Every structure is written in structure tokens, then in C-alpha cells.
Amino acid sequence: MQTADDDPRRVLGGFIRTQRQMANLSLRQLSALTEVSNPYLSQVERGLHEPSVRVLKSIADALNVSAETLFERAGLVEATGKPADPTTEAAIRSDERLTQAQRRALLSVYRSYVEANVREES
């Protein structure tokens, strides 16, 4: 029943930080992309502030994640029971240019990525 771990701000911040690091961006680089100051980004990532919609959107754009996803991470939009979006899996499975073994391998990698990201929102 920890009350600090599920603080929406902390969750959102952690998610943003992870995404930024995966994109190999420094705070200043992201700052340049988003027109948001780097100190403020730092504070947001550490959960000290709840950014405005405008800031959230520009962060989402810069990191190539959908704004919806960010709002979800922020705990501000309910999970809307999205089981999975099967488009990528379907595309891989029906790709004639791959062998069956390659399809399995690609799907495996893809699923591990998605699962890792989901787990990220602790």
C-alpha cells in the first residue's frame, strides 16, 4: 500500500525519463525539441510537477509516443482496457518475405519489447 509509488506524477515522470533515455537524448536536447526548459523537464521527470497539456503534447511529439499514451501513464485517463493492438503482430505473421522461423523470432522480440515497456510503469 505504498502511497508514493503510485503517485501519478512519479509514474509519468519515470516513463518520460525512460523514453528519453531510450532515444538517447539529453535533457537539453529534449528541451530543444520541445521548447520546454531543461530544468523543468528535469523536475517533471522526477515527479515534482504535473505538466500542462501543452507541455505533455510537445513531449509526446518529441519522443514519438502518442499523447494518449502519456495521458494514460499519467494515470489521468483510465486504461480503457486495450488488450493489445494486433496490427504489428498481424503484419509480421502475414509477411511472406519471412520464413516461419524468422517470424517467430521477430514476434518474440516484439513481445519482449512491449512487455518491458508495460512493466516500466511500476
- Return residues touching DNA (CB under 7 A): 26-29, 35-40, 42-46, 49-52, 54-55
- Please, is 1 exposed, middle or buried when counting C-beta atoms within 10 Å of its C-beta (0-12, 13-18, 19+)? exposed
Choose the one of DNA, its own copies, none that binds residue 10, judging by a C-beta under 5 to 8 angstroms depending on kind. Answer: none
Which residues fall within 8 angstroms of residue 26, CB to CB, at 6 or more apart? Answer: none
Q: Which stretch binds its own copies (CB under 8 A): 26-34, 37-45, 64-72?
A: 64-72
CA angle in degrees (0–180, nearest 5) for 57-62-68: 40
48 binds its own copies (CB under 8 A): no
Distance (Å, rounded) from C-alpha 122 to C-alpha 108?
23
Binding positions for its own copies, rule: CB under 8 A: 18-19, 22-24, 50, 52-54, 56-57, 63-69, 71, 74, 76-77, 80, 85-88, 90-92, 94-103, 105-106, 109-110, 113-114, 117
